Amino acid sequence: MRPGNPVVGGYADRMADTPPGGAPHPSPPPSPAGPTYPSAAPQPATGPVVVQARKSGLTWLRVLVMVGAILFIAACAVYMLFELGESLGVTALLIGLGAAILPVPVLVACFLWLDRYEPEPMKYLVFCFAWGAFVSTAASLNVNGWAASLFSDWGLPDALVAVLVAPFIEELTKTLGPILLLIFRRREWSGITDGLVYCGLSAVGFAMVENILYLGGHGYAAGAEQYGPATGAQQVFLIFIMRILLSGFAHPLFTSMAGVGLGIAARSADRRVRFLAPVAGLLLAMMLHGTWNLVPSLVQATGEALILLYGYIGLMVPIFFGMVGLAIWLRGWEGRLVERTLPDYVHAGWLTPPEVASLASLGRRHSARRWARRVAGDAGAKAMQGYQLAATRLALLRDGLRRGLDTKPAALARIAQEEQQLLAEISACRQVFVGRDPQAPVGIWDGVRYHLVFPDGVRRAVAAPEEPVVPVPVVLAPPPMPATPGGYRPPAGPYGPPYRVPPPGGLPVSRPTGNWGAPPT
């Protein structure tokens, strides 16, 4: 908690490292005066104009793309409903649909649980799920059927379709939806976690429709046709145990390999990584899917049931738990990224070290929301949630700038504008809960030590603790205003006029004055 002191060996140096996702571009160490920005910034007179022109020019294109995507997915949904209804019958379709939907909320909740630091927009999550459920299944159904007919004409067994064709077309089409999202909405990708979420939801949608076919067709329809409805219900129960309870993770596991590759590509500025990482992840997903389909084919060919047990316990289960461990570790990546990135804004005066510490984990964020609810009611809890989300987005924006994800003048102007908006949002959210705790003593942080008013009414200076945590919100003492030229200037928030500090080698960075507190952690 010493933003005014040299940062070498201090709190900023102890920040967590960034996990794989493209090596960050080298940048000078944070200056006590504030974050450094690319020197090749767009001219203020023309930069915003270019951004605004491009933004308005893309509005109609984005609307057309959105409408086209909705209509295309809806057409595929109608097609799949017609195909399943015609091949299964109404009764088998309804039974298969009811059984296949049961695990979907659980699987979707697991992927949403991974994405709690910076939740993705619901419309993109629905898009990926619907893409996998309808577009991918429609394409896979036709390609697999065409391949089965072709292999039959060649005298080849149908099992080869499951091993050689199905993994290719199914993984390709399941991943194509998230790939389109990466191309058109790359800013919505914060790393590997988002890749796992988008691709995982696409796979869950695909598995749901595929399970309708197995549960309704191979389960109820086949059993009821031969031995009656009771046998059909019994087969539905057995297939439910095998396909959902024991191997319901299969499709999300396969496609998560492609999600890792897409997540790495999203946070890399290297063109080779952007191309090779998704290709490698997609190939790994196809190979894993093909191996999974090969195991029952070998059991059928050899009659050795132990092959299925060895393949399940010896291969798939370890890979599954390995991916679960990776996902849990990546879940905290955005928290560690906040710890590593936001100290730039600490040195600029926008934040204090305790605020960064309070954002470092989901547990601390939950405690901060409880504190805000206690001192400011539901409005305080909502404001704290908005503050945490804006701070996470600010860290992601800053990390992308460090990595060199956007280097064009128009993109840099957009980043500067978005940064101003996020800082203003942080200021507005903080205003709701700061200064409302009646149990908090009056304190001021001057950049070196705390000045706290004790119960006897005397104000005393207290040194900062070693850990960057303070139990009470404090006020930042405004430093003297220097005479500096104009430049980049975040908006003046509710805490007073901006205070501009020129960092070496970069554009000036503003610092507001007034009440800047941090929740207890």
Q: Is a pLDDT exceeding 80 seen at residue 474?
A: no
Q: Tell me which of 518 and 305 has the higher pLDDT.
A: 305
Q: Is a pLDDT exceeding 90 seen at residue 73?
A: yes
Q: What is the pLDDT of residue 17?
A: 32
Q: Span 479-508, mean pLDDT?
A: 35
Is residue 311 very low, low, confident or very high in pLDDT (cuts 50, 70, 90)? confident
Nearest to 211, CA basis, from 96, 133, 80: 96
Q: What is the pLDDT of residue 47?
A: 33
- Of these ranges, 2-16, 235-249, 297-311, the one predicted with the greatest mean pLDDT is 235-249
**Helix H or strand E segment including 511:** strand 509-511
Q: Is a pLDDT exceeding 80 seen at residue 402?
A: yes
- Considering only 323-327, 385-389, 443-447, which range has the smallest mean pLDDT? 443-447
Q: Span 74-90, mean pLDDT?
A: 93
Upper half-sphere CA count for residue 51 (Cβ side, 13 Å): 18
d(CA 445, CA 473): 10
Q: Tell me which of 33 and 184 has the higher pLDDT.
A: 184
d(CA 111, CA 131): 16
d(CA 314, CA 309): 8
Contact 343, 12 (CB under 8 A): yes
Q: What is the pLDDT of residue 433?
A: 84
Q: Is a pLDDT exceeding 50 seen at residue 486?
A: no
Q: What is the pLDDT of residue 446?
A: 65
Q: How does pLDDT run across 254-269, given as a tens digit for each residue?
A: 999 999 999 999 999 8
Contact 488, 507 (CB under 8 A): yes
Q: What is the pLDDT of residue 77?
A: 95
DSSP-derived secondary structure for 141-200: HHHHHHHHHHHHHTT--THHIIIIIHHHHHHHHHHHHHHHHHHH-GGG--SHHHHHHHHH
Q: Is a pLDDT exceeding 60 seen at residue 233?
A: yes
Mean pLDDT (the chain, rounded): 78
Residues with Cβ within 8 Å of 271's Cβ and at least 6 positions away in sequence, in order, are none
Q: Span 276-297, mean pLDDT?
A: 94
Q: Is a pLDDT exceeding 50 seen at residue 61?
A: yes
d(CA 37, CA 50): 20
Q: Span 182-206, mean pLDDT?
A: 92
Contact 404, 38 (CB under 8 A): no
Residue 118 burial (C-beta neighbours within 10 Å; 0-12, 13-18, 19+): buried
% of the chain with per-residue pLDDT over 90:
41
Q: How does pLDDT run across 111-124, given as a tens digit for each residue?
A: 999 888 888 889 99
Contact 227, 216 (CB under 8 A): no
Q: What is the pLDDT of residue 58?
A: 52
Three-class DSSP category at 79: helix
Q: What is the pLDDT of residue 229?
A: 87
Nearest to 174, CA basis, from 208, 214, 128: 128
Contact 282, 215 (CB under 8 A): no
Is residue 98 very low, low, confident or very high in pLDDT (cuts 50, 70, 90)? very high
Q: What is the pTM of this model?
A: 0.76
Q: Span 141-168, mean pLDDT?
A: 92
Q: Tell me which of 458 and 450 has the higher pLDDT.
A: 458
- Considering only 59-63, 64-68, 220-224, which range has the smallest mean pLDDT? 59-63
Classify residue 434 by its DSSP letter. Answer: T
Q: What is the pLDDT of residue 434?
A: 77
Q: What is the pLDDT of residue 453?
A: 78
Q: What is the pLDDT of residue 257?
A: 96
Three-class DSSP category at 310: helix
% of the chain with per-residue pLDDT over 70:
75
d(CA 317, CA 339): 34
Q: How does pLDDT run across 315-336, given as a tens digit for each residue?
A: 889 999 999 999 998 888 888 8
Q: What is the pLDDT of residue 469?
A: 55
Q: What is the pLDDT of residue 464?
A: 66
Q: What is the pLDDT of residue 300?
A: 85
Q: Is a pLDDT exceeding 60 seen at residue 79?
A: yes
Q: Is a pLDDT exceeding 70 seen at residue 35?
A: no
- Considering only 166-170, 370-374, 470-474, which range has the smallest mean pLDDT? 470-474
Q: Across the chain, how many H-helices and E-strands are there? A: 19, 6
Q: Tell me which of 306 and 502 has the higher pLDDT.
A: 306
- Considering only 13-27, 146-160, 341-355, which range has the smallest mean pLDDT? 13-27
- Considering only 11-25, 194-208, 325-339, which range has the smallest mean pLDDT? 11-25
Residue count of the chain:
521
Is residue 467 very low, low, confident or very high in pLDDT (cuts 50, 70, 90)? low
Q: Is a pLDDT exceeding 50 seen at residue 88?
A: yes
Tokens of 211: 């399970």
Residues with Cβ within 8 Å of 518's Cβ and at least 6 positions away in sequence, in order, are 352, 354, 355, 357, 358, 470, 473, 474
Count of Cβ atoms closer than 10 Å to residue 455 Cβ? 6
The backbone region for 404, taken as left when phi is positive above 0, alpha when psi lies in -120 to 50, beta otherwise, is left
Is residue 225 very low, low, confident or very high in pLDDT (cuts 50, 70, 90)? confident
